């Protein structure tokens, strides 16, 4: 592919224009579903009640979205890409309409589960589209565009949600999305080919048991953050590990798989990248989950300003993803090595100064973590797709957001457990928040350090993969 063909403009030429719009808007549906709804939920419970189930609106969304991303490759193989994408949009549309018209909390919770599953499916199919429609030289840019939409959602989601909440018409936040979803469905129907994926994903029975195990595991993780006793938290976390681990075990023995073969093996490039994506999710979750509380209680920052300082991670992730998309060859390898290092420096910096350090440095270290991940995430994702076995490209692509989301869920739950053990469960005071912050950010160093080691392992595996690929090409 020529330099011109691999430029940013290639994402918006010919049929790539429609594909780029579909994959970014599909991810945008999911991203805005997180950031916008979190802002309007207080208005929702004030209107229709159900305060006791406040957290479930997010928990069920997360659980269903991970189930949706997990079966993205399977749905693409069973229905073809066009009908799979339309299915995702229609499920989100049903959930969004249910949220907008919900007369009480039970209906809203069910609708949020529909939203989560449909939007998770759209995220998985977006990664599948990158694998199917973009040459390897363009994938980093397409994946960086996906990162960009997350940055937009982090900035605009709370703002748009706040406008509807302040106006007293929280339902408008959901009604306003319906025309967008209808347009998205029409665009998908007109432009996406009926492209089915041939291979192991399309054979056998539907993996209902494995999806149920995965969903229950994620639900245990999410629920652990809403119970106070340490024993209950440990029991829920342990149950989650067993349920999710068993789901992966069963998947490896099935003919209709949700994940590629050996998705967690450190002997393979794909297995190593899976662990890196998982640790990225853990790190970002550990860093951000208590940061607004720390900034507000210990540094006197308003909750609004604290939220935007926290959003620096997403913004620098987006910025570095866009800037690094044009790298190639040796520069990409340098980015894969440097990204985890920057993330580790950022986490160590937060550990040192999160309680007593200057506010400016806290912002710098948060931004550094996002920059480190953004520098290498798209390239590691592209390597994962390129190294997939024949017939497993869609599974490898859809597994990326699934594994990352699992990391985010486990990271938040682990941070909550550590913070609660450190004293936060006794009440929010400067002393308890300081103790919890020290413990949580000390914990955050471990996954970051392991990521550094795995990045070195990945570089070695990728070099071996490239040498083998070139040898096979020359022999052919």
Residue spans per domain, the chain: 15-198, 205-254, 264-476
Q: What confidence tier does 204 reach under pLDDT thresholds 50, 70, 90? A: low
Each residue of 217-234: pLDDT tens digit? 999 998 887 787 888 989
The tens digit of pLDDT for each residue in 340-366 reads 999 999 999 999 999 998 999 999 999
Look at residue 150 in the predicted model and tell me its pLDDT. Answer: 86
Question: In this predicted structure, what is the pLDDT of residue 471?
Answer: 54
Can you tell me the distance from the alpha carbon of 125 to that of 166, in angstroms, rounded to the nearest whole number?
Answer: 35
Tell me which of 3.30.360.10, 1.10.260.40, 1.20.1250.20, 1.10.3720.10 is the CATH number of domain 15-198.
1.20.1250.20
Question: What's the burial of 56, exposed, middle or buried (CB within 10 Å: 0-12/13-18/19+)?
Answer: buried
Q: Select from 284, 329, 267, 322 the least CA-distant residue to 151.
A: 322
pLDDT value of position 5: 44
Say how many residues make up the chain: 476
Handedness of CA 437, 440, 444, 446 (dihedral sign): positive
Read off the pLDDT of each residue in 95-122 and give the average, rounded to a whole number: 96
* Res 369 pLDDT > 70: yes
Q: Binning pLDDT at 50, 70 and 90, where does residue 467 land? A: low
Look at residue 199 in the predicted model and tell me its pLDDT.
46
Distance CA 58, CA 286 (A): 17
Q: CATH class for domain 264-476?
A: mainly alpha
Residue burial 210-235, b: 16+ Cβ < 10 Å; e: rest? bbebbbbbbbbbbbbbeeeeeeebee
pLDDT at 4 (0 to 100): 40
Q: Compute the average pLDDT of residues 261-268.
A: 91
90 vs 38, higher pLDDT = 90
* Average model confidence (pLDDT) across the chain: 89
Find the helix packing angle between 177-191 and 81-101, rounded to 10°. 170
More confident call, 302 vs 396? 396
CATH fold match for the domains 15-198 and 264-476: yes
Which whole-number Å values give the CA distances from 455 to 65, 338, 341, 343, in the listed order? 28, 9, 9, 12
CB count within 10 Å of CB 256 equals: 18
């Amino acid at each position: 592919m020529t330099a011109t063909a691999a430029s940013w403009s290639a994402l918006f030429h010919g049929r790539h224009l429609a594909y780029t719009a579909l994959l970014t808007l599909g991810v945008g549906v999911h991203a805005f579903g997180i950031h916008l709804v979190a802002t309007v939920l207080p208005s929702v419970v004030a209107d229709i009640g159900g305060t006791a189930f406040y957290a479930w609106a997010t928990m069920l969304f997360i659980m269903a979205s991970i189930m949706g991303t997990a079966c993205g490759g399977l749905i693409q193989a069973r229905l073809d890409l066009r009908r799979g994408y339309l299915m995702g949009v229609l499920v989100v549309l049903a959930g969004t309409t249910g949220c907008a018209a919900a007369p009480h909390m039970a209906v809203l919770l069910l609708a949020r589960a529909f939203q989560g599953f449909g939007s998770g499916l759209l995220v998985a199919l977006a990664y599948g589209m990158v694998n199917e429609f973009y040459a390897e030289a363009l994938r980093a840019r397409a994946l960086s565009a996906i990162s960009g939409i997350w940055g937009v959602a982090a900035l605009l989601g709370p703002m748009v949600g706040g406008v509807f909440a302040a106006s007293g018409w929280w339902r408008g936040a959901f009604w306003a999305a319906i025309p967008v979803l209808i347009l998205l469905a029409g665009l998908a129907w007109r432009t996406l080919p009926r492209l089915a994926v041939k291979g192991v994903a399309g054979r056998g029975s539907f993996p209902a048991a494995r999806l149920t195990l995965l969903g229950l595991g994620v639900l245990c993780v999410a629920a652990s953050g809403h119970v106070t006793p340490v024993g209950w938290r440990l029991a829920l976390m342990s149950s989650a590990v067993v349920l999710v681990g068993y789901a992966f075990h069963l998947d490896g023995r099935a003919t209709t798989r949700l994940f590629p073969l050996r998705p967690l093996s450190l002997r393979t490039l794909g297995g190593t990248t899976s662990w890196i994506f998982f640790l990225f999710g853990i790190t970002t979750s550990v860093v951000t989950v208590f940061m607004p509380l720390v900034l507000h209680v210990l540094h006197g920052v308003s909750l609004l300003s604290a939220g935007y300082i926290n959003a620096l991670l997403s913004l620098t992730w987006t910025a570095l993803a866009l800037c690094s998309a044009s790298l190639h060859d040796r520069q990409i390898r340098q980015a894969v090595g440097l990204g985890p290092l920057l993330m580790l420096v950022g986490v160590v910096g937060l550990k040192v100064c999160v309680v007593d350090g200057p506010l400016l440095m806290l912002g710098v270290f948060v931004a550094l973590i996002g920059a480190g991940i953004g520098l290498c995430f798209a390239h590691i994702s592209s390597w994962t797709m390129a190294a997939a076995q024949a017939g497993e490209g869609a599974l490898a692509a859809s597994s990326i957001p699934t594994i990352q989301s699992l990391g985010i869920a486990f990271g938040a739950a682990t941070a909550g457990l550590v913070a609660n053990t450190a004293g936060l469960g006794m009440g929010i005071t400067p002393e308890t928040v300081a103790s919890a912050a020290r413990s949580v950010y000390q914990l955050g160093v471990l996954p970051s350090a392991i990521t550094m080691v795995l990045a070195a392992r990945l570089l070695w595996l990728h070099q071996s993969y490239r040498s083998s690929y070139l040898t096979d090409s020359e022999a052919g």
